[in-house]
Chains A and B, each alone.
Chain A
């Protein structure tokens, strides 16, 4: 595919690398975490060399993810403040899911759904990081009651976030022409105008 020089840059290289560091960590953490959570997934520990290696590596990968997520969240937080048009968008999300986006309010760089996802992940990351540290017996010793509560929070936050990420990945697949934004940075002008018209106008100066 010859890329159109007039394609719009949505993410720069640093943002993309940051996103994929978090993404890779998340996948590794989900695979090893699910293995500890449910016996049906225990064989996934073999992907990490052995069950014991999975247990050893999981928290360190978690530290890497928490660090890079923090940077990513700080980068994107301002763009994800929720405004009135986002609430409008969210009220009409049913139409969108049903395949009709004609009446959807015009959106900036992120739509209401993406913003909800963003803040959901921020809360999830906060809970999972704090509870994870409290469960990390190699380095942290806290009373058993705290560890028990942390274990419940950790599992709950993980399931919540894996659910959000399934939605995140699906939304990217469903909305054609989206994944390239996170792979090599650009989207077509038509994509931007259709899905994020306010942002499209800001970038191109196109008044239509």
Chain B
């Protein structure tokens, strides 16, 4: 959402630098999956703070409610029942939503100047008033997060409560979490805190506990503490090595300058060809020949009339 008192680092479809003299603190939200009890207070707080209400859906046989992210539902608890090797059961609950990538695929793909903004604190925000509804952000996103609204045709997703963060508040979900599973602060602090959690988990036998801050997208401003950081796929298909698709990189990368150069060369080449070689005229001999034939035929017609 627009009108932030936050400094902008990057704007979609903008080829010149955004104002970036002021350096603000890089923030992050840390979601400790091992401490989540699946109460959905974060979902409720998100709806309340952002004034969004999804339509009442139907039960699809799992606890996920609603069953997916929508333009009116910017975060969803994903419930996964995972059987362990020793026959036990683990209930892995991941709060899904925008990861606020340092290298955002949505922003890279977006064709509308200023419709997607990355603040210098790391938050990636959609400015819907500039959004044209093309859905390229969905094409670019490695986490399948943005959704186009059926009501207004614009793309929506978690703002990391940029409006709250702008005035020194934590996101609504972090504020409301009853177990402290959602923490918010500087990215540095959050990493430090994550370390203590990971140490604790390791002591409790989760040897592969770790931080999910994927390097493929330059790190994220929403990070997870996972008990099984070696298998992020267990958490409802969280990608192991997310990155902007090479297809998107080609499409929004090299293609642009190459295509512009090629088309520019074709247009200028044509102009200069004309200027230097001149037009391809019909030869004088042929025109004269046709002229003579016309005259002959005219004379013949006169004869015929007589």
The chain A residues found within 8 Å of chain B, CB to CB, are 4, 6, 35-40, 42, 45, 51-52, 54-56, 97-99, 101, 135, 137, 144-145, 147-149, 151-152, 155-156, 159, 162-163, 166-167, 170, 173-177, 188-191, 193-195
Residues of A within 8 A of B266 (CB): 163, 166-167
Given A155-B259, A189-B290; A36-B134 close (CB under 8 Å) = yes
A45 CA to B138 CA, complexed, in Å: 21
- Distance in Å: Cβ of B276 to nearest Cβ of chain A: 9
Chain A residues positioned under 8 Å from B290 (CB to CB)? 188-190, 193
How near does chain A come to B295, taking the closest CB pair, in angstroms? 12
Contact for B134 among A55, A152, A159, A175, CB less than 8 A = A55
Contacts of B148 in A (CB 8 A): 137
Shortest CB distance B14–A (Å): 6
Contact B282 A163 (CB under 8 A): no
For residue A45, which residues in chain B have a CB less than 8 angstroms away from its CB?
Answer: 132
List residues of chain B with CB under 8 Å of any chain A CB.
13-15, 111-113, 130, 132-136, 138-139, 144, 148, 153, 245, 247-248, 250-251, 255-256, 259-260, 262-263, 266-267, 270, 273-274, 277-283, 286-287, 289-290, 293-294, 297
Known: A40-B15, A99-B280. A151 touches B267 (CB 8 A): no
CA distance in complex: A162, B279 (Å): 22
20 contacts between A and B (CB under 8 A): A6-B294, A6-B297, A36-B134, A40-B15, A40-B260, A42-B13, A51-B130, A52-B133, A55-B134, A98-B277, A99-B280, A135-B139, A137-B138, A144-B139, A152-B247, A163-B263, A173-B279, A174-B274, A190-B286, A191-B282
Additional pairs, 11, CB under 8 Å, beyond known A42-B111, A174-B274:
A35-B111, A36-B134, A37-B111, A39-B113, A42-B113, A98-B277, A163-B262, A163-B263, A166-B267, A174-B280, A176-B281
Residues in chain A near residue B279, CB distance under 8 A:
173-176
| Residue from A51, A148, A166, A175 in contact with B248 in the complex, judged by beta carbons closer than 8 Å | A148
Q: How far is the CB of A52 from chain B (nearest CB, A)?
A: 5
B278 (CB) vs chain A CBs: closest residue: A99
**Bound state CA distance, A147 and B251, in angstroms?**
12
Residues of B within 8 A of A38 (CB): 256, 259-260
Q: Which residues of A contact B289 (CB under 8 A)?
A: 190
- Interchain CB contact under 8 A, A52 and B277: no
Contact: B113 with A194, CB < 8 Å?
Answer: no
